A and B are shown apart, each in its own frame.
Chain A
């Protein structure tokens, strides 16, 4: 049995939720923050043979501190291979080798579509966001997408203002019809309140587990669509002692993950 210390913070719990989605031997494409943390927790626990890559051109980096961006200098020394975008996004991702991709979004909808382009009208936006970067190709081409999002009625929506990265678009069959590869798409939305998964038939996100300080009612009330609840809905397993040890002693000894609390992940 696992022991579960109760002094964890929410970003640590979310990182652990991500780690548990990774299977041993997976090839994972990561960005920064939670994604890197999740993938590395998995490497030290349930998936020792998982390998990571960054879109900037790095495969199997061995950074001695958490990378602050996908171009971080700490990704260079010790990596197994360094090339460029065409290598990682073309030769590895587009060619179908990547099992898992992590994405986050300013806006995520019930079909797992992600918006990182504009809030409001495209031509006259209220807020101009960074754009796709690697998100669209990762979301289009990795076999399983893990989405990280804040759980409120602004960040989650019935329909995103702009589909930067397609989830299940309009529902069942949409990806296939547009020519996206079979067997790809969002697998889970990990929020600061819950873990949502996608219904095989409707392709809509439903509540799978709620975090220890939340509840079914709270999650439903914070979700802007008519959120379906799984028949076996239960509490999310808190971080295990071993997972927390990996985060705090190996991956992030300076506690940089705490900055995510300041960004609303509480």
Chain B
């Protein structure tokens, strides 16, 4: 039975207030359509995680849907520090999120452990840093330092993470959820496979036959997937390799807007609350900036290079 549904329904059915969410992406394939829908539905008390968080996490924090963040980093990249993130931590606007901090090695390893059913995993980083001197809601379970049972050396252990839901944006998936990506992976594969269920947002839905033409590209198998949502342009203002480029101007627009609470709220109204779904968002984008600007983001066409699995 097909798992294809609109984003509105996927978020209503599978994202519950208080849930722990992995939200994939690395500028590459940010699931922005889903992030906007979560904000639009005014979800509450979410715990969110990913390595190298960016504008999408900043926006969710500013919109007040986040209670806790298991993170490593949050910035707007070229555009500097996350404004909403700073306001939350420094000024408690709209409220102060609780923050548990790891690194871009330890957090992916924790998700990897979760994806493999391992209870914890040793990591060689964080030792000697103040990251081991700050603990928040995970308390003593943030990490443990033991003498290695093998050679006696001091070893940092971090716990496995198993999010309630993972949301990822991919190039293509079939109706059952076999999801394929190409290009920069970030922690998408381990994050998605660590979760109890997965919402797959994709540029295009393809047949099972197309998936089978290059099965090595599949990062999540259908049995882990609860919903498949076709959202062309769904990662904007991030990019999707082979489909469209990063929208640097829009990144700047967000930075300018989020400099103030008022500007941020106007931005949310314009791009989230006043548009019903991703189709309306794209329509508004074209209306606001013109079709040539939209078309200009489109990736150059490339025939690629076919692979053969013949034997």
Residues of A within 8 A of B (CB): 55-58, 68-73, 75-77, 82-87, 89-90, 93-94, 117, 122, 125-137, 140-141, 162-166, 169, 174-175, 178-181
Flag if B86 contacts A128 (CB, 8 Å).
yes
Bound: A136/B51 CA distance, A: 13
Q: Are A164 and B131 in contact (CB under 8 A)?
A: yes
Tell me whether B85 and A128 are in contact (CB under 8 A).
yes
Taking the complex as formed, is B71 at the interface, i.e. its CB lies under 8 A from any CB of chain A? yes
- When A57-B185, A163-B130 are in contact, do A85 and B51 touch as well, CB less than 8 Å? yes
- B101 surroundings in chain A (CB, below 8 A): 117, 131-132
In the complex the two chains form, what is the Cα distance from A25 to B212 in whole Å?
A: 39
- Name A140's closest neighbour in chain B (CB-CB): B125
- Other-chain contact of A72, B27, B81, B155 (Cβ < 8 Å): B27
Interchain CB contact under 8 A, B26 and A94 = no
Q: 1/0 per position for B173-214, CB-CB distance to A under 8 A?
A: 000000000111111111000000000000000000000000
| B241 within 8 Å of A (CB atoms) | yes
Contacts of A128 in B (CB 8 A): 81, 85-86, 89-90
Name A132's contact: one of B104, B190, B302 (CB within 8 Å): B104
With contact pairs A69-B77, A84-B189, A90-B108 given, residues A76 and B124 touching in the complex (Cβ less than 8 Å) = no
Chain B residues touching A, range: 35 or more
B108 and A73 contacting across the interface, CB-CB below 8 Å: no
Question: Do A140 and B126 have beta carbons less than 8 Å apart?
Answer: yes
Pair B130/A125 contact, Cβ less than 8 Å: no
By a CB distance below 8 angstroms, the chain A residues around B32 are none
Mask for B131-175, Cβ within 8 A of A = 1, else 0? 100100000000000000000011110000000000000000000
Q: Please tell me which one of the listed residues A77, A137, A169 contacts residue B128 in the complex, with CB atoms under 8 A apart.
A: A169
Given contacts A131-B73, A136-B103, A179-B153, contact A85 B108 (CB under 8 A): yes
A191-B100 Cα distance, complex, nearest whole Å:
32
Check: B11 CB closer than 8 A to any chain A CB: no
Task: Give me 13 other A-B pairs in contact (C-beta within 8 A), A134-B72, A180-B124 excluded.
Answer: A56-B26, A56-B185, A57-B185, A71-B27, A71-B52, A73-B28, A125-B89, A128-B90, A130-B82, A133-B52, A136-B131, A137-B106, A179-B124
A56 touches B130 (CB 8 A): no
Q: Which residues of chain B come closer than 8 Å to A69, judged between CB atoms?
A: 27, 77-78
Kindly report which residue of chain A lies nearest to residue B88, judged by CB atoms. Answer: A128
Interchain residue pairs with CB less than 8 A apart (24) = A56-B26, A56-B184, A68-B77, A68-B78, A71-B186, A76-B182, A84-B184, A85-B185, A85-B187, A86-B109, A86-B190, A90-B105, A94-B123, A125-B89, A126-B90, A127-B86, A130-B73, A131-B101, A132-B72, A136-B103, A141-B105, A166-B129, A175-B128, A178-B128
